[in-house]
Amino acid sequence: MIPPGPYLLLLGDPGTGKSLIGRALAEILTKLYKENKIQLQDVVCWPNNVIPSEPKISCHPAGKGKKIVLKEKLKRAKKMYLQKIGIKLLIYFLIAVAFVFIGAGFYYLWQEKLKWDANAPGPFGPVQDVYNGNFQKFMIDAFISIGSTTFLPAGMMLLFLVLIVVLGRFGFLGGAKGIGGAKSLGDVPKLIVDNSRKVAPFVDATGHRSAQLFGSIAWDPLQTGGLGTPEHQRVTAGDVHRAHLGILYIDEIKNLGPEDAITLLTVLEDGQLPITMRSKWHDVGTAAMAVATEPVPCMCFLVGAGNFDSINQIHPALMDRFYGYGKVVRMNNDMPNTVENRRKYVQFIAQEVKRFHLIPFSREACEEIIDEGRRRSGKKDALTTRFRPLVSIIKTAATLAMLEGEKIVKRKHVKEAIEKHCKTIQKQILEHQMRERGRFLEIRPYGKKVGQIYGLGVVMDPYSGEMTGNVLIVKGFIEKRNRRNKSLKGYYKVTGIAKHGKEKFIADSIDKVRSVILRKYGVDIAQEYFTHIDFAQAYGVDGPSAGVTMTILLCSLLEGKPIRQDVAVTGEINIGVDDSIQVTAVGGVHEKILAAQMWGFKKVVIPAKNYMYSIDPKDYEIEVVPAETLEDYLKECLAEEEKHAPVVTQRKQKRKIPVK
């Protein structure tokens, strides 16, 4: 009794190398089999002369299956050849005998004519006297008497030859093509699992249904009457049988139907499964439904794969096997940015160059691809493990270099591939929309203004998660409420933002901005002022990264200091508990910086945490400045001179007397 398992379930984003792990395991199995002298098996399906609907199964060492089938084919071919030779000899013999009889008939008729010419005496007198000189009547009587022993047997032989030729054309005599051509292989076995390569099999069964997974019996419309293909010749092994002693890999395993999952559990527990007709057309009455082979071995190692949402969609019993007899592994989207891993990146580039027959890459080109891997990871000290998009960059860069007649790929080719040719269709659509929208935006990244600031946001595709940067024009108005007129109440409005939906992150930012201003200046912008912030030329803006933008705008209005228009900002504002107001990290910083760079801004201020863990300033032509507190942001954004009278002076912080 062989214990079940081990089984492996790999969960992670697409392109993180789940199938590569399965192939690597197959290579490891091959080495283990060679070291321990474990032989793979070929499976041969034989006819069952006693019960034709139950073909027999035999297992043989890898490579022997082809030899057995070839031997049986040669034996069958020899038999068919001898049969053909015998039939041909019989035909030639019958033709010769028929011609002998025909020749004898004509010879005897000629002798009768000689008798007539000589008027030879007969039993009743001379021949001519008996027939009164009627030669025609004499020859007819002679033909009848002679033909019954010569021409008639010859005619019967020739008619038999015609029947032999006709039957041979339809294959009833073997070896002929046509309706009965498959009967020529009636006794020849069929090789249904071939491991002649002697390599542990890796079978990718992603998206396969029952017939492909577990084998099937082909439906033959001419199965009745003995005219169709023999039962054993219509047997097709499934993925589980071909993966015997190897890796059965199923990606998107959550899409496996309940019936298929239960059958797969039987395979994993028993290690064998008969091949019978498996199809969604269960109610069709055909002869194939009655065919079932002997159990076929299928002791395979299951490697399932899927995204993180697959956990709750996999059949519970199958998931229980993964937990009980195997491992559930979370695939990393990145790996440490070490010298060893950078060398592995170069090795990966070399492998792709060899696989696609490309020209070699220069050191600078390899460094640019490694830097792109770092940027795609979203971390300064990590490299992405989603290699499939990088393959496209490698191929495109090499193609660009070859079109220019270069013998080596340079950094400029890699940059051109990244910036122009290797973007997903979702990202292309987003950037096209932003370019079209940009024609109407009033973005002027120069000068200084009070009451206007440029914030940075991202536009995201809801299905693929692709992002592109977006520059937001944020304008503000604030006026102190006249306390004498008690009928007028202050207000705090923000327009151009998302007002519907379950997740309105910007609503929390709006509330935090109010509290931050209250803490910093000691005024309530919603009660003591008429405050209006507008995300101009925008609609449905959402996300926490607009918090610091609105705060800086209000600080400019309250203090009367202009804002530098060549600076763009992003960051999440937080309520301070100490002497400072913290600005924390946000997402999509890389795309935001690229958007600001495209629009011609001179400086981008981002949270210090983003700068520390995910941003390398060498990747950009624009100046990237880290900031940790609101005061850091104000130093970079507000101009020194005051063009307008401040609405309110900053509240002095009370000194805290330490308690001894």
Q: Quick one: CA torsion of 591, 594, 598, 603, rounded to 10 degrees?
A: 120
| Bridge partners (DSSP) listed for residue 536 | 473
* 272-273 and 491-495 beta bridge pairing: unpaired
- Backbone φ and ψ for 496, nearest 5 degrees, come out as 85, 10
* 7-11 and 247-250 beta bridge pairing: unpaired
Report angle CA 370, 372, 377 to the nearest 5 degrees.
Answer: 100
The per-residue b/e assignment along 515-525, b for 16 or more CB within 10 angstroms, e otherwise, is ebbbebbebeb
Query: How many angstroms separate the CA atoms of 199 and 572, rounded?
Result: 56
Those residues with Cβ within 8 angstroms of residue 496's Cβ, 6 or more apart along the chain or in another chain: 534, 535, 536, 538, 539, 540, 541
Check whether the bond before 6 is cis (ω within 30° of 0): yes
Active site residues: 545, 592
Longest dimension (CA), the chain: 170
Query: How many angstroms separate the CA atoms of 19 and 202, rounded?
Result: 10
- DSSP state at residue 409: B
Q: Give me the DSSP letters along 499-566.
A: -SSS--HHHHHHHHHHHHHHHHHS--TTTTEEEEEEEET--SB-SGGGHHHHHHHHHHHHHT--EETT
| Bridge partners (DSSP) listed for residue 627 | 607
Those residues with Cβ within 8 angstroms of residue 284's Cβ, 6 or more apart along the chain or in another chain: none
User: How large is the angle between the packed helices 388-403 and 339-355, nearest 10 degrees?
Assistant: 60
Query: How many angstroms separate the CA atoms of 103 and 87, rounded?
Result: 24
94: number of Cβ within 10 Å: 17
How many residues are given for the chain? 660
H helix intervals, 119-228: 127-130, 135-147, 151-169, 210-214
Tokens describing residue 381: 């000290």
Helix (H, G, I), strand (E, B) or coil at 123: coil
H or E stretch including 418? Answer: none
Query: How many angstroms separate the CA atoms of 490 and 554, rounded?
Result: 15
Q: Quick one: CA torsion of 172, 174, 178, 180, rounded to 10 degrees?
A: 60
Half-sphere exposure of 608 (CA within 13 A, CB side): 9
Query: How many angstroms separate the CA atoms of 55 and 176, rounded?
Result: 25
Question: Does residue 605 contact residue 633 with C-beta atoms inside 8 Å?
Answer: yes
Would you give the distance in Å from CA 244 to the centre of its chain? Answer: 23
